[in-house]
Amino acid sequence: MCTAITLQSEQLENFFGRTMDFSYGIDPELFIIPKNYEWTNFLSNKTISNKYSFMGIGQKKDGMLAFFDGVNEKGFAAATLYFAGYAKYDDEENSMEKESISSLDFLHYILGKCASIKELNDILLNISIKGLPDPVTKTVAPLHWIATDKSGECVVIEQTEDGLNIFKNEIGVMANSPNFKWHMTNLTNYINVSQIQIDNSKWGNVQLKPFGQASGTMQLPGGYTSPERFVKTAYQKTHIKIPKNSLEAINACFHIMESVTIPKGIVVTNRNTDDYTKYTAFVNTNTCEYFFKTYNNTQIIKASLFNNYKDSKEPISLGKLERKVKFEEI
């Protein structure tokens, strides 16, 4: 369970971020991957060299460094979200002529090689995404991806039984299952939702009046399923006042995500584990800055790719996301 959005300011800065909702234990860390960093393709054992440096949130476990989201030096950003019941990866028989990339490495691969959505489109023609068990769940995680660049263009990448597809994402929102086209069609069910108060109505001799403000939003869903989260964030991001600058934009992004942030105990899985929001993170794709907060520390932390970058042959860790809470006293 995760939700992702893009949001642009009046200054045309593009912001991109997500909630990380998960029922398995993870210990996320902020990394910088240097330009020209060489890493091993887990499927082919061949060396891959990154064209661009990037900063991303991920986790290193059992020798594998997998990323959940990130932004590179060119302002290209992307995130991985769960896609249960719909993801279907390639097999060896139908992808021999393409470079095989595991689903766990795909985000690392595109962040290291793409400067724009156009370049992403070109790269997708020549790769095949295959499933690989991850060290956290010990299963082949069903995934799909959302990507954007500093122009604000946004796409969704889904590998299903129909093949590898990339969809233009004009709404700038993504959640989990069903597929992206289903979510976009489902928005039509909420065509009457509005930020404007509905008018009084008369049923026979009975005068009906709205209960205070927000009557135009009564049809909005209130649960935490993927379709409900998609609708809520789509409505909010398309109706929120356009932020004037980067500070207003970051505040707006986190406010939007508050409606889909899941506290512990609200959603419990069949394994009797809590599915809750581990962290919420946004990036300014124009400045390559990260802003994040965690479940246990809601103070927003900021990190810059360029301020923390240094030449290295290895990933640079900026530390765990979980940090000690410090209250400001007055």
List the structure tokens of 318. 């900026």
List the structure tokens of 261. 């942030």
**Amino acid found at 53:** S
253 carries an active-site annotation:
no
Rounded CA gap, 40 and 48, in Å?
A: 6
Q: What element of type H or E holds 228?
A: helix 226-239
Residue with tokens 């530390």: 319
List the structure tokens of 89. 């990866």
Rounded CA gap, 54 and 37, in Å?
A: 10
In 3-state terms the chain splits into helix, strand, coil percentages (rounded to 5) of 20, 35, 45
Rounded CA gap, 221 and 3, in Å?
A: 15
List the structure tokens of 90. 């390639």
Question: Could you tell me if 291 and 283 are in contact, meaning their C-beta atoms sit under 8 angstroms apart?
Answer: yes
Cα R_g (the chain), whole angstroms:
21
Rounded CA gap, 251 and 240, in Å?
A: 11
* Cβ neighbours around 116 below 10 Å, total: 17
* Cβ neighbours around 249 below 10 Å, total: 23
Catalytic residue positions, numbered: 2
